[in-house]
């Protein structure tokens, strides 16, 4: 978990214009969400491997989940 926090803290979160997000509370929430997501993905990987699934397929499924995430705030 400490390693996950170090990875999260090394990310400079950016706004759409490229400027860094500077609000400490926002950065904390983003880093916590990322840490939670990493742990959940790790749990999925471990469970699937223990059940005999193919590692490459698991990675493909997890990648597709990220690619298919929708931006509900995107202007149309």
**Three-class SS string for 8-72?**
HHCCCCECCCCCECCCHHHHHHHHHHHHHHHHHHHHHHHHHHHCCCCHHHHHHHHHHHHHCCCCC
Q: Which of 32, 12, 10, 31 is nearest to 22 (CA)?
A: 12
- CA atoms in the 13 A half-sphere facing the CB of 62: 17
- At 49 the pLDDT is 98
pTM above 0.85, yes or no: no
d(CA 14, CA 30): 11
Per-residue pLDDT tens digits of the chain, which is 76 residues long:
455 555 556 899 999 999 999 999 999 999 999 999 999 999 999 999 999 999 999 999 999 999 999 999 988 6
């Amino acid at each position: 978990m400490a390693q996950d926090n170090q990875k999260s803290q090394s990310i400079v979160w950016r706004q759409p214009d490229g400027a860094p997000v500077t609000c400490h509370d926002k950065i904390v929430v983003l880093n916590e969400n990322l840490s939670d997501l990493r742990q959940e993905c790790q749990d999925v990987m471990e469970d699937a491997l223990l059940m005999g699934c193919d590692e490459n397929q698991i990675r493909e499924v997890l990648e597709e989940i990220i690619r298919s995430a929708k931006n509900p705030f995107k202007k149309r």
